[in-house]
Amino acid sequence: MSSFTEENYGSQSLTQDFESPFPNTTITNFVGEDSEVIEGQVSYSNARLDSPFRSVYELKEEEGTIDPEAEEAMEFLNELYDEEFDEAVYELVSEANELYQDRFESEYGDPLVQKMQAVRMLEQHFTPLVTEAELFLDTMANEFGQRNPSSLDEAEIESFIDRYEPQNSLSPSFENFLGSFLKKAGGFVKKGINLAGQLVLKPILQKLKEVIPSMIKKVMQYGVNNIPAALRPVADQFAKRFLNQEFEEETTTEEDATPDISGIQREFDGQIANLLFTKEAVEQELAIAEYVKESQQPITHDPLSELDRARAQFVTQLGELREGEDPIPLVQNFIPAILPVLKLGMSLVGGRIKFINWFAPWVAKLIKKFIGPEHAPALSQAMVDVGLRLIHLEATPENEVYAARSAVAATLEDTVRQIAALPEYILDNQELLEGYALEAFEQAATVNLPPVLPERVYEARPELRETTGIKGTWVMQPLQGAKRYKKCTRIYETTITPHMARVVKTFCDVPLAEFLQDRLGLSPGRAIKARVHLYEAIPGTLLSQICKSERHVPGLGTIAAWTHLHPLTPEAAGMVFGQPGLGREVSEKYLDHQPTTAVGQRLYYLEIPEARPQMVPVAGGAPKARRTRQLNIRFDFPRDQIKIYLFLSEAVAQSIAVKLRQKVSIGMVMPHLSAIYEPRLKKILTGKHHSHMKTIHGKVPPKGSRGRILSRLPQAVREWVIKNLIEWLGKNLTTYLQQKSPDFITATENPADGVTLKIVFTNPPGLAHLRKILRGESVNIQEIQAKGGMPDANIQVTPGFHRG
């Protein structure tokens, strides 16, 4: 917790001048002598994991004894978790959001009322999906419910699911979701027949039916009220109850801009596990009732709409300021709406009023040069000069004035956001704070305001401008109404050479070249002319929402286009259009596959006239976009296995098949393959990319099972695992491709998109030690490092995409 308590804003002041090109201000200290210093909690990771020299490693002292049933439940939850389900949920959330915005959202009227009306309409919209899911469970109950579970086997259940056809035709997003739901229900029934004491399926399938509408309702709520994840805690009650522990949240200064949709799945999985593992009927019913009740809670908390409203008011009032009038009251009214959408800003709660009282006059002096009748026209003109009309051909003079005032609002918001993210020791020290606050303002102004300072200032302080040459700025979008994202006023024309495309990476470390070839059908050997559109996430931004709103950009205009956005890192910005200053560094987790962005994260879209998005037909369904490479890893402790699913895109698979047909040396094939899996293996096993890892272990709660648990292993252990897995993979794939190349070739002849190599290592050396570490038992690291030998490996190649 921060020490921003009421007492912090004491009256003793310290005056100090900071050199800034922005209007000089006198900065007043507000931290009193009697500052309360709250003991910072020493995080577990800091306290226990940072020493690579520890030879004996213990993850955590566990209270109590091992509970086999609890562990089985956790293993089941970890196994049940399915990334495809998240993808399907994201589609539904985006669809709900689109419907809400198109039909209900209005700057007039009460947002909460609009959202409640939208949820009612969405209930009707999603009814066919709920009905289909319920019909499926009924059919399944009829098929298997009356039979003795011991007479059933998993293959029979899988076959039933494969054969199942929806009773009614569904939209592609519903179809996709239903497919993931069927898979999950299959996992539920398979576990049901294998559980000790074998359950009678029919009643529990009926109970599962009861929770489906609630789960879909949560999807709707996420869709209409996409408040950031930090403000929407996921109730992992089941895991908490069974493991009697909670997985700590990641500590990061960045904030998710969008809801963590994986929470919907985790909660639903918890309900499934509840039906299987909770013995007492009353307890089971209570858990269901709680889940259903929670989903029926009306939306009462809507900080994003509040922020929209306050921002609109601030912008309007800026336009009403008379010459020389003080903007402090306007700022004082605006700031309270910014704080609630900040995860870290919540820590300012204690000293909120004092903070505002200090910040408002301080920042008012800084913004005075841009507002009021005498300065505002210059700012509007500057907005036009940096290309506002390039992205808004239809912009009226009123729009330009409004955009200029919105830029001032955005500067304030970003400044507050940066201050709120400052570490405690800075917040506690007024001298430091004032310096950092000024820096925050400068950074925010650099981004949100057009270059308004004299050229000599930029020569002396080049960091106050993001670009060299062409001038641009970031504008909140849409110009009118609730703001959803920012767009750069400049659209960069560029030529992407094959070399650039190979070096620049998009999400999941996929080379841009592969995206251009497999997703857009562009030839890898040719230079490509493109127009680059730049976007930035603000609180509440959904990637699908950006794409939907950008109707005038060829290739965008639909929610499904979100997979065409790429992360705008400084490297990408530098390589693709020569402006590294426009890129943004973000944590690795935001460069992963999941559609969650950080507030302030930047993205780009390539408008390429020659691009033709590549699709693959799906039997009985809507075509799907072709995929790029992907590596997924499963640490399956109950089965003593490490499973690796290496998906090769169609282009890559075919190029390898050509070499195999030509019977070239395996030395010509493996470097190509290892260049795909090695870097990904390293990235995933260091715990940086969560979406591609699953740990099935009785002591790992669902939140941690996706990669995050690995970041808790000692570095030496992680390195040992990475080194060995790479070696095992290399050796076994070499042998496989030498001996079984016809299998690989045959798989590539299937019309499915790409091929998946499934590599299963059974009883790999060191896995038993990892199990102990995750269980919290003491392990001698040197003992692990001394482990040698090659595990049994089984490799299979299958057409299409699989991730286990």
Q: How far is the CB of 657 from another protein (least distance, A)?
A: 6
Q: Which is nearer to another protein, 300 or 662 (CB)?
A: 662
The answer to whether 526 touches 516, Cβ cutoff 8 Å, is no
Q: Which is nearer to another protein, 276 or 657 (CB)?
A: 657
Q: Which stretch binds another protein (CB under 8 A): 191-199, 200-208, 213-221, 651-659?
A: 651-659
424, 430, 431, 436: CA torsion to nearest 10: 50
**Between vectors from CA 777 to CA 771 and to CA 783, what angle results, nearest 5°?**
70
Q: How far is the CB of 753 from another protein (least distance, A)?
A: 7
For residue 427, the SS3 value is helix
Amino acid letter, 102: D
Q: Which is nearer to another protein, 568 or 660 (CB)?
A: 660
HEC sequence for 701-720: CHHHHCCHHHHHCCHHHHHH
Count of residues that interact with another protein, criterion CB under 8 A: 29
Q: Which is nearer to another protein, 576 or 657 (CB)?
A: 657
- Give the span between the Cα atoms of 483 and 305, in whole angstroms: 10
- Give the span between the Cα atoms of 364 and 757, in whole angstroms: 60
Cis ω for the linkage preceding 478 (within 30 of 0): yes
Among 502, 526, 552, 723, binds another protein (CB under 8 A): 526
Torsions phi, psi for 694 (to 5 deg): -140, 130
Among 113, 281, 286, 658, binds another protein (CB under 8 A): 658
If binding is defined by CB under 8 A, does position 521 make contact with another protein? Answer: yes
Among 276, 500, 646, 651, binds another protein (CB under 8 A): 651
- Strands of the sheet containing 641-648, edge to edge, are 693-696, 630-636, 641-648, 755-762, 792-799
The answer to whether 568 touches 632, Cβ cutoff 8 Å, is no
If binding is defined by CB under 8 A, does position 146 make contact with another protein? Answer: no
Q: How far is the CB of 171 from another protein (least distance, A)?
A: 14
Q: Which stretch binds another protein (CB under 8 A): 97-105, 391-399, 654-662, 702-710?
A: 654-662
Q: How far is the CB of 606 from another protein (least distance, A)?
A: 15
- Give the span between the Cα atoms of 42 and 50, in whole angstroms: 12
**Between vectors from CA 269 to CA 267 and to CA 275, what angle results, nearest 5°?**
110
Q: How far is the CB of 757 from another protein (least distance, A)?
A: 17
DSSP 8-state code for residue 132: H
Using CB under 8 A as the binding rule, the residues of this chain from 581 to 620 that contact another protein are: 609-610, 612-617
Among 54, 661, 672, 723, binds another protein (CB under 8 A): 661
Question: x/- contact string, 662-701, with another protein (CB under 8 A)?
Answer: x---------------------------------------
Q: How far is the CB of 116 from another protein (least distance, A)?
A: 34
Q: How far is the CB of 626 from another protein (least distance, A)?
A: 7
If binding is defined by CB under 8 A, does position 626 make contact with another protein? Answer: yes
DSSP 8-state code for residue 581: G
Neighbours of 380 (CB within 10 A): 22
If binding is defined by CB under 8 A, does position 794 make contact with another protein? Answer: no
Q: How far is the CB of 548 from another protein (least distance, A)?
A: 16
Q: How far is the CB of 732 from another protein (least distance, A)?
A: 24
Using CB under 8 A as the binding rule, the residues of this chain from 536 to 555 that contact another protein are: 554
Among 117, 443, 654, 796, binds another protein (CB under 8 A): 654
Amino acid letter, 306: E
Neighbours of 14 (CB within 10 A): 12
Q: How far is the CB of 205 from another protein (least distance, A)?
A: 37
Q: Which is nearer to another protein, 206 or 654 (CB)?
A: 654
Q: How far is the CB of 684 from another protein (least distance, A)?
A: 26
If binding is defined by CB under 8 A, does position 800 make contact with another protein? Answer: no
Q: Which is nearer to another protein, 114 or 614 (CB)?
A: 614
Location of structure tokens 């020389």: 324
| CA-derived radius of gyration, the chain | 28
Q: Which is nearer to another protein, 349 or 745 (CB)?
A: 745
Location of structure tokens 């800034």: 20
**DSSP characters for 228-276?**
-GGGS----HHHHHHHS--PPPPP-S--BSS--THHHHHHHHHHHHHHH
Using CB under 8 A as the binding rule, the residues of this chain from 726 to 755 that contact another protein are: 745, 748-751, 753
Please state, in angstroms and as integers, the Cα–Cα distance from residue 539 to each residue in 112, 231, 356, 476, 601, following that order: 18, 11, 21, 12, 11
Burial readout 409-422 (b: 16 or more C-beta within 10 A, e: otherwise) = bbbbbbbbbbbbbb
Using CB under 8 A as the binding rule, the residues of this chain from 434 to 473 that contact another protein are: none
Among 277, 650, 685, 758, binds another protein (CB under 8 A): 650
Q: What's the chain's length in residues?
A: 804
Q: Sign of dihedral through CA atoms 316, 317, 321, 327? A: negative
Distance between start and end Cα atoms, the chain? 41
Q: Which is nearer to another protein, 175 or 592 (CB)?
A: 175
Q: How far is the CB of 261 from another protein (least distance, A)?
A: 25
Q: How far is the CB of 692 from another protein (least distance, A)?
A: 24
Residues near another protein, by CB under 8 A: 518, 521, 523, 526, 554, 609-610, 612-617, 623, 626, 650-651, 653-654, 657-658, 661-662, 745, 748-751, 753
